[in-house]
Copies of this chain bind each other. A is one copy, B any other.
C-alpha cells in the first residue's frame, strides 16, 4: 500500500523496522602451534557459543563489542576488529536458542524479544593465549579455548561466523602484519610461521618465509636464544612496535 502522506509513510515504516542489533566476538588465541577460539558453554550443556550480547541504545557498536567481551569472558583491553554483519532473518529464532533460554527460566515466552529478529555485527580479536585469563559470566557454565579443527556443537550460525572471521583474517595477511597480539614478547620465527600456516591452511617454505618476514623490517632480533629443543637453538625475535603499527596502517606489500 502506498503512503498517502509523509506521516503515513513514517507510521507504516514504524511497524516494519528492525528491532535489535547484537554482537558476536570471535577471539583467537595461539597455543602449542594450534589456533584456538574462545567459547562459552551455555546452560544447555551440550551447546557452546561465541561471547555475544546486545548493543545498547546509546552505545557505539565498537564499545558494545568490548563491553560484552569483558562481561562475558573477563577479557579486557582487547583490540577488536569488525569483520562482517550477519543479517539472515531466520538465524534469530532458533530451536537451540529457545531450548537454552527455556532452561534458564520456566516462564520463558516463545515470543520474547530476545527471540525476535536481530542483526549481528561480528568482531574478531587475536589475543596472547598465555596472557589472558578467561572466565565465564553468570549465564554460562564454562569459558574455554577450543581447537579450530575440532569445534563442538555451536549455537545458531556461530560456526559460519567463525569461518567468516578466519577468511577475513586470511585476506588481511596479504597487506597487514599479524602476530603482535598472538605471540609472547619474544618468539621464534617458527612460532610466527605456524600462525601463517594455520591461517592459510598450507605449509610454507621455511627459508623463504624467513627471508620475506625479515624483509618487512618489523622484527628485532634478540641476542639469542631459545633453548629446550634437541637441536640448534633458534634466534628469538620481537616485533618492533613502532614499525609494526606503521605497517598496519600503511600496508605491507606492494598494492596492485
Across the interface, do B113 and A89 meet the contact criterion of CB distance under 8 Å?
no
Across the interface, do B256 and A55 meet the contact criterion of CB distance under 8 Å?
no
A232 within 8 A of B: no
Measured between C-beta atoms, what is the minimum distance from A122 to chain B in Å?
A: 9
- Indicate which residue in B16, B57, B85 contacts A121 across the interface (CB closer than 8 Å): B85
- Indicate which residue in B13, B56, B107, B112 contacts A54 across the interface (CB closer than 8 Å): B13
Q: Within 8 Å CB of A95, what residues of B?
A: none
**CB pairs A–B below 8 angstroms (5 shown):** A16-B54, A16-B57, A58-B89, A82-B85, A85-B121
Interface string of A1-33 (1 = CB under 8 A from B): 000011101100110111111000000000000
Given A87-B55, A117-B58, A174-B256, also A104-B6 (CB < 8 A)? yes
Give this chain's copy count.
2
Instruction: List 9 tightest A-B contacts by C-beta distance, closest first.
Output: A61-B87, A18-B55, A17-B54, A18-B21, A6-B104, A85-B85, A6-B105, A21-B119, A17-B20
A window 75-116: CB within 8 A of B: 82, 84-85, 87-89, 104-105, 107, 112-114, 116
A149 within 8 A of B: no
Interface secondary structure of A, over-half rule: mixed
Give the number of residues in A that approach B within 8 Å (Cβ atoms): 50
Q: Within 8 Å CB of A119, what residues of B?
A: 21, 55, 61, 119, 121
A203 within 8 A of B: no
Smallest Cβ-Cβ distance to A54: which chain B residue: B17
Across the interface, do B114 and A56 meet the contact criterion of CB distance under 8 Å?
no
CA distance A138 to B9 in the complex (A): 11
- Indicate which residue in B5, B114, B173, B256 contacts A255 across the interface (CB closer than 8 Å): B173
A245 within 8 A of B: no
Further 20 A-B residue pairs, CB within 8 A, beyond A6-B105, A58-B117, A85-B121 = A7-B105, A7-B107, A16-B56, A17-B19, A18-B55, A18-B57, A19-B57, A21-B21, A55-B87, A57-B116, A57-B117, A58-B89, A61-B87, A61-B88, A61-B119, A64-B87, A119-B121, A170-B255, A174-B175, A174-B255
